[in-house]
Amino acid sequence: MAQKILVLHGPNLNLLGTREPHVYGHTTLDALNATLEALAASLGADLVAFQSNHEGAIVDRIQAARLDGTDFVIINAGAYTHTSVAIRDALAGIAIPFVEVHISNVYKREVFRHHSYLSDLALGVVAGLGPLGYEAAVRFAAQHAPSA
Ligand code: DQA
Give yes or no: 102 in active site: yes
3-state class (DSSP) for residue 96: coil
β-partners of residue 126 are 101
Q: How many angstroms does the Cα of residue 143 sit away from the middle of ligand 1?
A: 26
Higher model confidence: residue 23 or residue 10? 10
What is the spatial distance between Cα 96 and Cα 24, in angstroms, rounded to a whole number? 28
Give yes or no: 117 in active site: no
Q: How many angstroms does the Cα of residue 5 sit away from the middle of ligand 1?
A: 21
Per-residue confidence band for 20, with pLDDT thresholds at 50, 70 and 90? confident
Range with the poorest average pLDDT among 37-46, 115-124, 138-147? 138-147
Site to substitute for ligand 1 among 23, 24, 104, most atoms within 8 A of C-beta: 104
pTM of the model: 0.96
What is the spatial distance between Cα 80 and Cα 140, in angstroms, rounded to a whole number? 23
Give the residue-averaged pLDDT of 126-130: 97
Cβ pair 112, 69 in contact under 8 A: no
What is the spatial distance between Cα 73 and Cα 58, in angstroms, rounded to a whole number? 12
Q: Given this model, what pLDDT does residue 145 score? A: 74
